[in-house]
Amino acid sequence: MDRGPASMRYPGEVRVQQLVIHVVDPHRDNVVFSERDVPLDGADRLVEYFGHHIRNSLQDPVAGAGRFEADNGCATFALCRAMLHEGLDLIGGSGKLAGQLAEIIRRNRSISPGVLVAGFYTDSGRPEVPRFLALLKMDPSQVFRHVVEREATTGRRYVRLALESDVLPSEREKLQKCAFVQPLEPRHAEYDMLLLDRQTRVPTEVPVAKFFVEGLLGAKLALDARARTDRLFKGLMGAYNDLKSVLPSGQGEQLRQAVDAAVRQSTIDLEDWLESLPLAEEHRRIIDRHLAGQHLNERTFDIDRTYGRSLLKKRIFRGDHRLRVEVSADPDKAQQVIQSAERIEIPGTLPYYRVVLHTERWDEIAQ
Residues 119 and 217 in one domain: yes
Residues 249 and 358 in one domain: no
Residue 253 lies in a domain: yes
String of b and e for 165-177 (b: at least 16 CB within 10 Å)? eeebbeeeeebbb
Residues 320 and 289 in one domain: no
246-261 pLDDT tens trace: 998 789 989 999 999 9
Residues 318 and 276 in one domain: no
Residues 19 and 71 in one domain: yes
| pTM, full prediction | 0.81
Residue 243 lies in a domain: yes
The DSSP string of 41-84 is TT-HHHHHHHHHHHHHHHH-TT-EEEEE-GGGT-HHHHHHHHHH
Tell me, what's the pLDDT at 203?
Answer: 43
**pLDDT exceeds cutoff 60 at 1:** no
215-229 pLDDT tens trace: 999 999 898 999 999
Residue 361 lies in a domain: yes
Residue 166 lies in a domain: no
77-121 pLDDT tens trace: 999 999 999 999 999 999 999 999 999 999 988 888 899 999 999
Residue 262 belongs to what domain range? 223-312
Q: Provide the number of structural domains found in the chain.
A: 3
111-164 pLDDT tens trace: 888 999 999 999 999 999 999 999 999 988 878 889 899 999 999 998 988 888
Q: What angle do CA 154, 155, 160 make, to 5 degrees?
A: 110
Residues 278 and 237 in one domain: yes
Residues 128 and 271 in one domain: no
Last residue in a domain, options 187, 205, 222: 222
**pLDDT exceeds cutoff 70 at 318:** yes
Tell me, what's the pLDDT at 27?
Answer: 86
Q: Dihedral sign, CA of 258, 260, 262, 264?
A: negative
